[in-house]
């Protein structure tokens, strides 16, 4: 680039692309890099509808892209985790099923915290009781 500028030629900007699953903050990061709200953001998947070039400077251009997912998930576990992170639109899954999945994960990983926060007993944490709530 310096060699081109020394010859009086205008150098082309560096171009970079942001790629990832939906609703992880790609547009937010790019907005920070360009120091303005150039890309629309939201706390739900599907806000970025198409590709959009954002100009950071004469030397850097960034391509914001919609989130991408696999056409079919390898397992229900993967689909559940993506639903919990908000990467999948709400009309694609049952909120009740995902809530039970999340409670099951909390029960496995932090039962004491769950019992303390919601004033539950160990009996309350049984699957039958969780489905009752």
pLDDT digits (tens, 9 = 90+) for 32-66: 999 888 888 887 777 888 899 999 888 899 999 99
CATH of 2-64, one of 3.40.50.300, 3.40.50.11540, 3.40.50.2300, 3.20.20.60: 3.40.50.300
Q: Is the pLDDT of residue 71 over 90?
A: no
Would you list the domain boundaries of the chain? 2-64, 76-132
**Structure confidence at residue 9 (pLDDT):** 74
Alpha carbon dihedral 103, 107, 113, 118, in 10-degree steps, equals 50
Ranges 4-13, 35-44, 77-86, most confident: 77-86
* Confidence category of residue 85, pLDDT binned at 50, 70, 90: confident
Q: Is the pLDDT of residue 130 over 70?
A: no
Q: In sequence order, what are the residues at sequence separation of 6 or more whose Cβ sits closer than 8 angstroms to the Cβ of residue 102? A: 84
Structure tokens at 76: 């229900």
């Amino acid at each position: 680039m310096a060699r081109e500028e020394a010859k009086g030629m205008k150098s082309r900007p560096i171009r970079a692309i942001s790629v990832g699953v939906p609703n992880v903050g790609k547009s937010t990061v790019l907005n920070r890099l360009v120091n303005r709200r150039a890309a629309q953001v939201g706390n739900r998947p599907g806000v970025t509808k198409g590709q959009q070039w954002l100009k950071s400077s004469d030397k850097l251009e960034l391509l914001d892209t919609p989130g991408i997912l696999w056409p079919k998930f390898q397992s229900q576990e993967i689909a559940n985790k993506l639903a919990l992170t908000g990467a999948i639109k709400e009309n694609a899954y049952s909120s009740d099923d995902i809530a039970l999945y999340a409670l099951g994960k909390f029960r496995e990983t932090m039962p004491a915290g769950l019992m303390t926060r919601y004033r539950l007993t160990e009996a309350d944490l049984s699957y039958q009781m969780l489905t009752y709530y």
